[in-house]
Structure 1
Amino acid sequence: MKNITIQSKTTVKEAMEVLNKTAEKVLLVVDQDKKLIGSLTDGDIRRHILKNKQLTDSIETVYNPDPYFIFQKDFDKDNLRKILTDHKIDLIPILNNERVVIDYITWEKAFGNLLGGAGNKISAPVVIMAGGKGTRLEPFTKVLPKPLIPVGDKPVIDHIIERFRAFGANQFFFTINYMAKIMRAYFEEKEYDYKIDFAQEKEFRGTAGSLKLLQGKLEQSFFVSNCDIIIEADYSDIYRFHIKNEYDITLVAATKQYNIPYGVCELNGSGSLKRIREKPEYNFLVNTGLYVLNPDILSFIPDHGIFHITHLMESLHDNGGSIGVYPVSDSSWIDVGQWSEYRKAIKIIESL
């Protein structure tokens, strides 16, 4: 059995790290005697973060103290499948008579791969913004367009596509401009089992302007991804989060924690010292460059000129639209858009 157990004194940040190391979406909270006292899902952590709580908080007020479980003596596969299906959960712990966790059953163990997990397939279109010059990656991008920069044994765009394909996505749109002919030629020579289409800018339109070219071609909520990021996350859950909460845009954000290794001076209104905070920690949510958008909001994008995703969000906000934030851990976000991060990305990909 994989070690997916944690204790209640564990911090939220530590729990996120444990979740990232396991393929499961659930951690089992146990006491000192390894008896089950709760469960913690990535959704529990996400709700904690969205309440503007700290990553350094313990999970004591975050985990579910009343999880589903089954005793070993009552084990029945049909009943277990019914629990998984009826309650749309991914994992059920198996306990002995003393409530000690001795094993667990996942959706895949119960059903095999026939049903594809607890609703983890999507049919949403994916738009990859692939038209930028990638100046931060020069001189590579003097020769190749940024989406074709190799990360490991394949270009970054293939890494992005593979992660969407793993969740069933089958239709991809590429907005192109810089070295557009090379982008087209790459896919002309490539064998693939999904649908692709290109939307070519006549001028550089910024981080959202080229989406105007797809107005009328998209009939359902769709993903938008920068071409220099790789996100290790449950794309189906991101999409469900967007639909369930009826957002117009959902932004995927990575949790960043910064520790200042000094005493920080805080002043009062008169300029005198109020207090010194020793080595404070600050938490932020950073835009990763992955979004889910509703097709109707493309009408806010003008036909010409530079228009960034931030402009779209501002226009949407001014017109009463709603924007959601879906947090992921910092280690789930691989950024290859600048040299320092590109070197890290190669090491991460090679270790997967």
Structure 2
Amino acid sequence: MKQKISITIDERTLKEIDSIVDNVLIRNRSQAIEFLTRNALGDNKVAVILSGGSEKALRIGKDYRITVPIKNSTLIEVGLRKLKRNGFKEVYIIARKKILTKLFDIVGNGNLYGITVHYVEESQSRGTAESLKLIKGMINNTFLVVYGDIIFNKINLEELWKQHVRQKRLATLMLTTSATPTKKGIVRVEGTRVIEFIQKPRKSDIYIGFSSMFIAEPDILSYKGNSLENEIFPQLAKIGLLNGHLSSEKEIHVHNEQDVKTSKF
């Protein structure tokens, strides 16, 4: 339930608040103040971990990518601790039944990690966007999305979050430089705005790519398309609703046993 309040703000601050009203995501001054306050306080900060797709394809030995042992822990536990340190209170994990069962055996409801874990079962999926849409109606505020096969301990989540709030786009991608851009979704940028997104091009002279994490508003779940990388991100770039945050630190992908052995964090 919302309540009306009366506050006094200096003129300069008020102008800055009004500047984020875009009539798309934020339609008036009240929504702008609520948006800024909510993000400043970190109230109910939410993350989504995408681990959808075939259970067979996600196996590493007897484990799955998201549950594989990493040193004295597991990949999912490393991720939850990182999210907790950065103020996240709730995490939704999207995956298929056997993977969710394994995850629950490891982290349960998340209490031991100071975070609430929700499990969302995927029965089938034609892409990352279709998997993400399973949370539609569950999350009403800004949220972080992390792909379930990465270690992101060195990533500055606070700066990624702050930039998203400042730039008021529908989504803000984490970007890093890559020596092998044909293996990633590459982006053309002007300032912080992504003007083109191309998923795994055959050739590329661009060495800045999407790094498996982004922050978004719930409205992203209403866009048509099965794949974030092939459909949603290119569409948002064309209409000026996609931002990028360039990080000096990189994520670590864990796809096989060799990745497990060589991973450092």
**Shorter-chain TM-score: what band?**
0.5 to 0.7
CA deviations over 1:226-275 (Å, ceiling 9, x no partner): 111122122111111011011111111122357xxxxxxxxxxxxxxxxx
Which of the numbers 229, 236, 260 marks the counterpart of 1:316? 236
1:126 matched to 2:47: yes
Q: Distance in 2 between matches of 1:344 and 1:134?
A: 23
Could you state the TM-score of these two structures normalised by the residue count of structure 2? Answer: 0.66
What is the CA-CA distance between 1:341 and the residue it aligns to?
A: 3.4
What is the CA-CA distance between 1:299 and the residue it aligns to?
A: 0.6
Which of the numbers 101, 114, 126 marks the counterpart of 1:181? 101
Within 5 Å, give how 1:77-226 maps onto structure 2. 123-133=44-54, 138-140=59-61, 143-177=62-96, 179=98, 180-188=100-108, 191-226=112-147
Q: Distance in 2 between matches of 1:137 and 1:215?
A: 24
Q: Distance in 1 between matches of 2:63 and 2:259?
A: 18
CA deviations over 1:292-318 (Å, ceiling 9, x no partner): 11111101146xxx4344322133345
Contact 2:144 2:213 in 1 (8 A): yes
- After superposition, the Cα gap between the structure-2 partners of 1:155 and 1:139, relative to the gap in structure 1 and judged at 3 Å, is closer
- After superposition, the Cα gap between the structure-2 partners of 1:338 and 1:151, relative to the gap in structure 1 and judged at 3 Å, is same
Q: Distance in 2 between matches of 1:144 and 1:178?
A: 14
Q: Distance in 1 between matches of 2:102 and 2:118?
A: 15
1:293 matched to 2:213: no
Larger Rg: 1
Partner of 2:174 in structure 1?
252
Within 5 Å, give how 1:269-284 maps onto structure 2. 284=207
Partner of 2:260 in structure 1?
342
Identity of aligned residues (%): 19
Listed as ranges, the gaps of 5+ residues in structure 1 are 1-118, 259-281
The root-mean-square deviation of aligned C-alpha atoms, in Å, is 2.7
Q: Distance in 2 between matches of 1:257 and 1:120?
A: 38
Amino acid at match of 1:310: N
Contact 2:94 2:131 in 1 (8 A): yes
Partner of 2:251 in structure 1?
333
What is the CA-CA distance between 1:136 and the residue it aligns to?
A: 6.5
Which of the numbers 150, 169, 180 marks the counterpart of 1:229? 150
Partner of 2:162 in structure 1?
240
- After superposition, the Cα gap between the structure-2 partners of 1:201 and 1:136, relative to the gap in structure 1 and judged at 3 Å, is closer
Q: Distance in 1 between matches of 2:144 and 2:262?
A: 25
- After superposition, the Cα gap between the structure-2 partners of 1:121 and 1:230, relative to the gap in structure 1 and judged at 3 Å, is farther
What is the CA-CA distance between 1:335 and the residue it aligns to?
A: 1.5
Listed as ranges, the gaps of 5+ residues in structure 2 are 1-39, 181-204
What is the CA-CA distance between 1:336 and the residue it aligns to?
A: 1.3
What is the CA-CA distance between 1:193 and the residue it aligns to?
A: 1.9
Amino acid at match of 1:337: H
Contact 1:128 1:173 in 2 (8 A): yes
What is the CA-CA distance between 1:135 and the residue it aligns to?
A: 5.8
Count of aligned positions: 199
Q: Distance in 2 between matches of 1:228 and 1:297?
A: 22
Partner of 2:10 in structure 1?
none
Q: Distance in 2 between matches of 1:229 and 1:120?
A: 27
Q: Distance in 1 between matches of 2:105 and 2:261?
A: 27
Amino acid at match of 2:220: I
